[in-house]
């Protein structure tokens, strides 16, 4: 079929760039303190300051702009100096802030506020006090802090927090297997790939909780994505071996699925062949991919990788999975329809007919409207009649 014509020769090699999901590495929202006092006011001030600076600067510049270029420059200098002085006041440890006087909600708010505005200096100051005085924030804030520390590569501080957590009998250490996911990501950020993978594997061996398993999987996902984007063949081979080991020993297909997806969507022919080999070898991987077919196909189309969708359909044809084929063909049709590509839509309709796959009534209406160069009106109810096309 024309739709599924394979490209047998390698494509022009280009590095596949992908943005790293910072959901694993970045905090979300601020928790609310149960008390309103000077510390809470300071927290709110820190958070609000980041958004207020631009408005203050804009208003000052607008006021000085009418007095000529000399006044404009002086005004800019004055505003900049004021902002710097204000920032220095917030960032200096001379505030006399001792976290031993804070309640846990207050400590949570301060830590989350500094992460929210990416105030690394204040954040590290607070974390060092937490370690020094063995005063830990809530488990939720502690986890967000560990994510941030791993993102900025503070391996030493994560190790010290690990010791503090053990002394305070924090369940975070046991839940996240000695903070293995965070230690692994921190080492990865610092370029210690072998050590990062070893820590990750040790974590898999020791893990006994679902929360720990999810965080280890997330770390593995990030590492595999960045490995493929940087085209590090040696690290990819190591990751592949360890993903196979995880599957053999723990029956966890997730690691192999991560590598398969990143290899499959790569623009490099060698990566695509590696993905095909994994798919052919592991039945459980085939089942996992088929189960995730709607999500996988949708993500490919969001990246405008229609070739990857064509190859995905071919894989499903090999294992005679007509349901997954229908899902991918339906999504591909909608994608091409939105681009008013009549030829592509006609190829999809023809392929559906050959495979005995039925498009929805709405999609049939869309195709006819596209064929007649008319706008589509979505039917309120599915049409009872069956469409037949002659090609």
Is 259 a member of any domain?
no
Backbone region of residue 130 per phi and psi (left: phi > 0; alpha: psi in -120 to 50; beta: other values): alpha
Nearest CA-CA partner of 293 in 268, 322, 269, 270 = 322
202 inside domain? no
Q: Is residue 278 part of a domain?
A: no
Q: Calculate the average pLDDT of the chain.
A: 79
Q: What is the mean pLDDT of residues 134-140?
A: 95
pLDDT beyond 90 at 389:
no
> Residue 34, exposed/middle/buried by CB under 10 A (0-12, 13-18, 19+)?
exposed
Is 120 a member of any domain? yes
Tell which of 87, 102, 132 closes a domain.
132
User: Among 85, 116, 132, where does a domain finish?
Assistant: 132
pLDDT, tens digit, for every residue of 167-220?
999 999 999 999 999 999 999 999 999 999 999 999 999 998 999 999 999 999
254 lies in some domain: no
Structural domain includes residue 150: no
Specify whether the CB–CB gap between 223 and 232 falls below 8 A.
no
| Boundaries of domain holding 56 | 21-132
Q: Is residue 272 part of a domain?
A: no
pLDDT, tens only, 288-340: 999 999 999 999 999 999 999 999 999 999 999 999 999 999 999 999 999 99
pLDDT tens, position by position, 6-38: 333 334 333 323 332 323 333 333 344 444 455
247-288 pLDDT tens trace: 999 999 999 999 999 999 998 898 999 999 999 999 999 999
Is pTM beyond 0.75? Reply is: no
User: Could you say which of 109, 132, 155 is where a domain stops?
Assistant: 132
Mean pLDDT of the 131-153 span:
96
Q: How confident is the model at residue 217, as a pLDDT?
A: 95
Residue 351 has pLDDT above 90, yes or no: yes
Count up the domains in the chain and report the number.
2
Q: Which residue has the higher pLDDT, 243 or 14?
A: 243
- Percent of the chain clearing pLDDT 90 (strictly above): 64
135: helix, strand or coil: coil
**pLDDT, mean of residues 47-65:** 43
Q: Is residue 363 part of a domain?
A: yes
Separation of first and last alpha carbons in the chain: 13
Would you call 259 exposed, middle or buried from its count of C-beta atoms within 10 A (0-12, 13-18, 19+)? buried
């Amino acid at each position: 079929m024309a739709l599924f014509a394979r490209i047998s020769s390698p494509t022009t090699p280009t590095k596949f760039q992908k943005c790293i999901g910072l959901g694993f590495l970045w905090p979300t929202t601020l928790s609310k303190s149960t008390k309103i006092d000077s510390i809470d006011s300071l927290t709110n001030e820190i958070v609000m300051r980041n958004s207020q600076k631009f408005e203050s600067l804009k208003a000052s510049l607008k006021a000085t702009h009418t007095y000529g270029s000399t006044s404009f420059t002086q005004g800019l200098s004055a505003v900049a100096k004021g902002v710097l002085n204000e920032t220095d006041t917030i960032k200096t440890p001379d505030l006399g802030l001792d976290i031993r006087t804070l309640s846990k909600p207050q400590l949570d708010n301060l830590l989350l506020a500094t992460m929210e505005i990416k105030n690394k200096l204040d954040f590290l100051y607070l974390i060092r006090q937490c370690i020094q005085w063995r005063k830990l924030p809530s488990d939720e804030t502690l986890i967000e802090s560990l994510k941030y520390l791993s993102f900025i590569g503070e391996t030493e501080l994560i190790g010290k927090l690990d010791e503090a957590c053990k002394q305070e009998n924090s369940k975070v250490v046991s839940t996240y297997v000695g903070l293995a996911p965070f230690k692994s990501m921190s080492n990865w950020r610092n370029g210690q790939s072998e050590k990062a993978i070893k820590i990750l594997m040790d974590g898999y061996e020791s893990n006994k909780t679902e929360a720990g398993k999810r965080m280890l999987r997330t770390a593995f996902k990030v590492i595999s994505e960045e490995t493929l984007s940087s085209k590090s063949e040696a690290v990819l081979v190591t990751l592949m071996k360890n993903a196979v080991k995880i599957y053999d020993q723990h029956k966890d297909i997730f690691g192999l699925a991560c590598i398969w997806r990143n290899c499959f969507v790569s623009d490099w022919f060698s990566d695509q062949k590696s993905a095909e080999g994994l798919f052919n070898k592991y039945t459980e991987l085939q089942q996992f991919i088929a189960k995730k077919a709607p999500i996988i196909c949708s993500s490919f189309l969001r990246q405008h990788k229609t070739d990857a969708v064509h190859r995905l359909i071919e894989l499903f044809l090999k294992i005679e999975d007509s349901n997954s084929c229908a899902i991918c063909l339906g999504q591909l049709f909608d994608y091409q329809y939105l681009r008013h590509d009549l030829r592509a839509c006609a190829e999809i309709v023809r392929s559906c007919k050959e495979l005995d796959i039925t498009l929805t009534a709405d999609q049939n209406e869309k195709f006819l409207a596209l064929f007649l160069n008319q706008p589509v009106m979505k039917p309120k109810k599915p049409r009872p009649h069956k469409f037949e096309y002659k090609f």
